[in-house]
Structure 1
Amino acid sequence: MTAGGNEDEAPRKRGRPKVSSDDDKRANIVENARRIFVRNGYAASTTAVVATEAGVSKQTLYKLFESKEELFAAVVGAHRRMMLDLPREAEAISIAQSLEQIFMIDIDEETDADRAGLLQLVFREAPQFPELIEILHREGVLASRRELSAWLDERRAEGRIRIEDSASGARMLMDMIFGGMGPPEGRAQAWQGREERLAHLRRCIAIFCAGVDAR
């Protein structure tokens, strides 16, 4: 025991502060990029602005994303979870209830407007940047359809639904639900009110579930 000290007292450790992983940095950059793209538009957004608002250097950003186009593809991939809540664990609720949650049909108007913002951006700037449509299709629509098809396959394996072609079923569901929600722009004109829209979407889900009922 040292003078004036306590032999039970552990020495204070000093070390380097915890450094965020590349995954953490990537997620932070993507979230900031999404907000910047929606706010400024694709053409007016720069990687320098994204790096500044994400609190990283341009060197770090380019280490994780080689170009603005690659960064936008990552934004669309992350945005996919705002459209479909997948993948998800098996749950003890009805297929219809699961689909309502997967498509998040009951979200508030502010969140719905937030997730529609990126789609509005793509459709608005596609004439100038046609690659945005291709990215949205590849990283958004097709990837979402694969995830939903896999979810349907899992429910079929459990014996809860009867479906011959899960990929076709996933496409059918997405056409029904996203088409039923109305266009990203002008949704207020497509429906008289939120409750009317919700009732329609629940009817769409009910019709699908009746068609694939395993009983």
Structure 2
Amino acid sequence: MTELTRANGGDGAQPASGRARGRPKTRPDEAERERIVRSARELFLDVGYGGTTMDAVASRCGVSKRTLYRLFPAKSDLFRVMVADHRRSMLALPRDADEDLPLAEALAAIFRLDSDAIDDRERLAFVRLVLADSDRFSEIGEMIAQEGAQPARRLLEDWLVRQQARGALRAFPADALARMLMDMIFSVLIKRFPGDRLMTAAERQRHARLCLKVFLEGVAATPA
């Protein structure tokens, strides 16, 4: 029997032509993190920040709680990633250093004014989630500031400084210009005053482009 085993080229543990057994392959951590964030985002939108638990996230994602807590130690860590993703969906920055678009086109691209209806609905859904729960959970406001508004403003300010350096914009304080732009465009894209008719996506985009035109050209008549 031993001779037969040696003739088959092994020591009896595994046939030469067989597949080695082992633990099933697992996803790399980064891929798993992305998958969890995608699934968890749907859960947050369904039941809100307060209604979402890590147990529910694990169940929705089909992942063990041990893996979930290893990748995201707390619910706030998971939501923080979502806020950063949302910021990137709202503001396409940084830009290619060699990009040479007219200012109006570049700003339209930065604020993603040509996003399709699906992207537009997803962005608005996340904004509504934040507005609905931010009064009850102070950590939401902190995450929006740290992962959303502040880095977005810095990135936009850096872009404006580069345009000033190449002579495309006047030398106003870039931080103030960034705040103006974000206030103008985001107030159109994601906010409305009580009693205002909800604008369609096309109307919001047209109004946002008009804001950019006013920002770049001003409304004062040229002196004779």
CA RMSD of aligned residues (A): 2.9
Give, as a single letter, the amino acid of the residue that structure 1 aligns with 2:63: V
1:71 equivalent among 64, 75, 78: 78
Q: Does 1:133 align with 2:141?
A: yes
Overall identity of the aligned pairs, in % = 39
Kindly tell me: are residues 159 and 183 of structure 1, through their superposed partners in 2, closer, same or farther at Cα, counting changes over 3 Å? same
Could you tell me how far apart the structure 1 residues matched to 2:137 and 2:166 are? Answer: 44
1:177 equivalent among 182, 185, 188: 185
TM-score, normalisation: structure 1: 0.79
Larger radius of gyration: 2
User: 1:160 is matched with which residue?
Assistant: 168
Q: Greater shift after overlay, 20-29 or 199-208?
A: 20-29
Q: How far 1:70 sits from its partner (Å)?
A: 1.6
Q: Does 1:109 align with 2:109?
A: no
2:206 equivalent among 190, 195, 199: 199
Kindly tell me: are residues 187 and 45 of structure 1, through their superposed partners in 2, closer, same or farther at Cα, counting changes over 3 Å? farther
Could you tell me how far apart the structure 1 residues matched to 2:59 and 2:28 are? Answer: 18
- Structure 1, residues 148-193: CA drift from partner, whole Å, max 9, x if none? 11222233333333333222111110001011235279898243x4
Give, as a single letter, the amino acid of the residue that structure 2 aligns with 1:156: Q
Whether the aligned pair in 2 keeps the contact of 1:84 and 1:104 (CA below 8 Å) is yes
**Structure 1 stretches of at least 4 aligned residues deviating more than 6 Å after TM superposition:** 13-18, 184-188
- List alignment gaps of at least 5 residues for structure 2: 1-18, 219-224
Give, as a single letter, the amino acid of the residue that structure 1 aligns with 2:189: M
- List alignment gaps of at least 5 residues for structure 1: 1-12
- Structure 1, residues 76-100: CA drift from partner, whole Å, max 9, x if none? 1111111111122132321110111
User: 1:7 is matched with which residue?
Assistant: none
TM-score, normalisation: structure 2: 0.76
Whether the aligned pair in 2 keeps the contact of 1:33 and 1:75 (CA below 8 Å) is no
Give, as a single letter, the amino acid of the residue that structure 2 aligns with 1:152: L
Whether the aligned pair in 1 keeps the contact of 2:127 and 2:190 (CA below 8 Å) is no
Give, as a single letter, the amino acid of the residue that structure 1 aligns with 2:77: E
Give the 3-state SS of the residue equivalent to 2:49 in structure 1.
coil
- 1:1-215 maps to which residues of 2 (within 5 A)? 19-90=26-97, 91-183=99-191, 189-191=197-199, 193-210=200-217
Give, as a single letter, the amino acid of the residue that structure 1 aligns with 2:74: S
Could you tell me how far apart the structure 2 residues matched to 1:87 and 1:101 are? Answer: 11
Could you tell me how far apart the structure 2 residues matched to 1:149 and 1:126 are? Answer: 26
- Structure 1, residues 81-131: CA drift from partner, whole Å, max 9, x if none? 111111221323211101111111232333212111111112112232122
Give, as a single letter, the amino acid of the residue that structure 2 aligns with 1:145: R
Aligned residues: 200
Whether the aligned pair in 2 keeps the contact of 1:176 and 1:204 (CA below 8 Å) is yes
User: 2:4 is matched with which residue?
Assistant: none
Whether the aligned pair in 2 keeps the contact of 1:181 and 1:197 (CA below 8 Å) is yes
Whether the aligned pair in 2 keeps the contact of 1:182 and 1:190 (CA below 8 Å) is no
Could you tell me how far apart the structure 2 residues matched to 1:53 and 1:209 are? Answer: 46
